Chain A
Amino acid sequence: MENGSGDVLNAFRHGSVDAFETLFRLHQRAVYGWILRIVRKPTVAEDLTIETFWRIHKAHARFEPALGFEGWARRIATHAALDWLRSARNEAALTVEGLPEPASAPGADPAIKAEIRSRTSQALARLPVKLRVAATLVLIEELAQKEVAAALGISVAAVKLRVFRALRTLRKDLEQQGIRP
């Protein structure tokens, strides 16, 4: 994400809609991409991008230009995504809607591989939201723990702990389903 120029950031802080539009156009792709990494549904990510910028617009007076727009926007986007994941709307298991299908290992029975993939994604969806997001960003998206910590507003140690707990919980869940990792 690029940051807006100082003038634009100051104008945004003072409520300029033009500055807000400039920042929206500059950052919408990055905010959308970040949210998509968490919710993994393109249509939901579009709605949450708008919700994120609505929250950004409402909070313009609290924005500190010296701290930069990117990190602030990412934290707000993360909270919007977490709120969605916690909401009752998110009862369906994790899917890869609109995203490319993963490549299968050569020589494996496609039906069995598909079944294992399905059970794994369901096990991930059953994790508590905090563990699920940490696991998704660190284990699947392979982002730096420092980056994830900044977005979640927690320490790197807390991210490590969440990933550790997510792995343990996933292992138990998969074993109960007859999948021995």
Chain B
Amino acid sequence: MKPPDQTQKREQITPEEDRIRDLLHQALPPVGDAAEPARDLWPAMLKHLDEKSATVPWFDWALLAGLLGVVAFVPASIPVLLYYL
């Protein structure tokens, strides 16, 4: 005989587990779908967008560091870099 698979096990909800559902309901009331934020969040969203867009991404800093490294160790590359700027 094959052992019961996970699907069969899941169906075996005991009365104790049904009681746990009741305990959960008593402990934590459902939020439901009527909840709404206490304020308009768009101003905070705009502020967040401004802050994030003002931040220089880490890879830009890494690129700058790489370029400075090249310039420091190979000064002859300066005219080449200036040519491409």
The digit string for A121-152, where 1 denotes a CB below 8 A from any CB of B, is 10010000000000110011110000000000
Q: Does B23 contact A (CB under 8 A)?
A: yes
Bound form: Cα–Cα A102–B26 in Å: 6
Q: Which of A62-70, A74-82, A93-101 interfaces with chain B?
A: A93-101
The digit string for A43-75, where 1 denotes a CB below 8 A from any CB of B, is 001100110011001000000000000000000
Are A50 and B45 closer than 8 Å at their CB atoms?
Answer: yes
Bound form: Cα–Cα A104–B23 in Å: 11
Are A96 and B41 closer than 8 Å at their CB atoms?
Answer: no
Are B13 and A157 closer than 8 Å at their CB atoms?
Answer: no
B18 to chain A, nearest CB (A): 8
Interface residue tally for chain B (C-beta within 8 Å) = 34
Are B23 and A116 closer than 8 Å at their CB atoms?
Answer: yes
Are A124 and B48 closer than 8 Å at their CB atoms?
Answer: no
Q: Which residue of B lies closest to A166 (CB)?
A: B20
B59 to chain A, nearest CB (A): 15
Q: Which of B4-12, B60-68, B75-83 interfaces with chain A?
A: B4-12
Q: Does A86 contact B (CB under 8 A)?
A: no
Do A94 and B28 form a contact, CB below 8 Å, given A21-B42, A28-B41?
yes
The digit string for A24-55, where 1 denotes a CB below 8 A from any CB of B, is 11001100110011001010011001100110
Specify which of A32, A40, A141, A181 is in contact with B36 (CB 8 Å cutoff).
Answer: A32
Q: Does A14 contact B (CB under 8 A)?
A: no
Are A29 and B37 closer than 8 Å at their CB atoms?
Answer: yes
Are B10 and A140 closer than 8 Å at their CB atoms?
Answer: no
Q: Which residue of A lies closest to B18 (CB)?
A: A181
Bound form: Cα–Cα A165–B9 in Å: 10
Specify which of A25, A54, A116, A161 is in contact with B42 (CB 8 Å cutoff).
Answer: A25
Are A54 and B27 closer than 8 Å at their CB atoms?
Answer: no
Are A99 and B45 closer than 8 Å at their CB atoms?
Answer: no
Are A50 and B17 closer than 8 Å at their CB atoms?
Answer: no
Q: Does A174 contact B (CB under 8 A)?
A: yes
B43 to chain A, nearest CB (A): 10
Bound form: Cα–Cα A40–B6 in Å: 30
Interface residues of B, Cβ cutoff 8 Å to A: 6-7, 9-10, 13, 16-17, 19-21, 23-39, 41-42, 44-45, 48-49, 52
21 residue pairs A–B, Cβ–Cβ below 8 Å: A29-B36, A33-B36, A37-B30, A46-B37, A54-B48, A54-B52, A100-B29, A102-B25, A113-B26, A116-B26, A120-B24, A121-B27, A124-B27, A161-B6, A161-B10, A167-B13, A167-B20, A170-B24, A171-B17, A174-B23, A179-B23
